[in-house]
């Protein structure tokens, strides 16, 4: 399936939860926040949240700002 990950197309094969995606990307879950299709997915729900064709996933963190 194809998803949009931070604005870029990405192809994933098989079943993907957000937990698996975090592991694949080597991102520590406590340092990111995730939206799927503009809806916040809390960390506790990463395991049960499965990705689907066409999903728009945003993974954000904190950066310098005023």
Partner 1 sequence: MSTALRIGTFEFHSRLFVGTGKYTSYEVMQQALAAARCQVVTVAVRRERLYDSQNRSLLDFLDLKRYTILPNTAGCFTAEDAIRHARLARELLEGLNNPGSKWVKLEVLADKKTLLPDPVATLQATRELVRDGFTVLVYTNDDPVLCRQLKEAGAASVMPAGAPIGSGLGILNPNNIRIALEYLKENDPDYPVIVDAGVGTASDVTVAMELGADGVLLNTGVASARDPVRMATAMYHAIEAGRLAWGAGRIPKRAYATASSTFDGMINSSQ
Query: What's the rounded Cα separation, in Å, for the pair 25 and 59?
Result: 11
What is the smallest separation between the CB atom of 53 and partner 1, expressed in angstroms? 20
Binding pattern to partner 1, positions 36-55, x when CB under 8 A? --x-x-xx------------
End-to-end CA distance of the chain: 39
Distances (CA, A) of 61 to 14, 28, 29, 30, 51: 27, 11, 10, 10, 20
What is the smallest separation between the CB atom of 15 and partner 1, expressed in angstroms? 21
The binder of partner 1 chosen from 23, 48, 56, 60 (CB under 8 A): 60
The answer to the question of residue 12 lying near partner 1 (CB under 8 A) is: no
């Amino acid at each position: 399936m194809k998803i949009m990950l931070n604005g870029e197309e990405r192809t994933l094969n098989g079943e993907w939860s957000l937990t698996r995606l975090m592991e694949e990307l080597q991102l520590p879950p406590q340092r990111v926040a995730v939206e799927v299709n503009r809806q916040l997915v809390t960390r506790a729900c990463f395991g049960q949240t499965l990705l689907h064709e066409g999903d728009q996933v945003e993974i954000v963190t904190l950066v310098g700002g005023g």
